Structure 1
């Protein structure tokens, strides 16, 4: 697929998750779930690359992206690990109602613009870091890598007060 996860803490579980729209053939894999054992407890880390919004004769086509967001939202809703961090190319800003299945459950960055797309003249942040039982304190872009997106980095503070 098009996603991966690197961690300085041990990854104790990992699996692909199916967020594929119904009309896309088998073999399309753009979702990953892992459990990371941190000094503050377990974190369920989701990495996703949602389908792109396309421009066509009828305007913007976002049905595939929205369907993937709903599937990912259902996984997050059913997640048993208390703390969740979702990161990836969600192909939209957090203000887009198509991402409501995610933004209604997860915290978004409190500070930082981090416009990540397109690399040549970034005008929007469509690469996101969202969290549950944690705060995304700050998000920023990193130097270009050759991708059509700038990478983003975020500072996330885990909520250590709960069960």
Structure 2
């Protein structure tokens, strides 16, 4: 698959940060806003976004091989190689968070309370939402349920916490 071969690439999909600047036409985010990047953004206009049955947007659906911006199929990162040529550096999961700065489509940034500690909020974008969501929405854990968790990384621990909260 040619899209798998696009490197270099900035990996990472869990983070929290402060908006440094916004592009033309962005109205719901402003410099200084605290945000959590999400790889499942929502365009707000497709049939999936208007459905009460799903939040898996047709435009921003997870595609681990997508290496460019959804908005224009371009990349915002580049590097000068040893020959002096500027070459693209590709995106990952609409977020590319293993960097001091990243560039996101506005649909992939969710505002959070500025008083919330960023070092804890970064867990919301994948680990906690995936684990708690699995316990509540997929397994529908309720009081008295028996739960087996195989693997206690961030997601597994969040499954346990989701089950504990449910009783």
TM-score where L is the length of structure 1: 0.26
Determine which structure has the larger helix proportion and give its number.
2
Over alpha carbons, which structure has the higher Rg?
2
Determine which structure has the larger strand proportion and give its number.
1
**Bigger relative contact order, structure 1 or 2 (CA pairs below 8 A, ≥6 apart):** 2
TM-score where L is the length of structure 2: 0.26
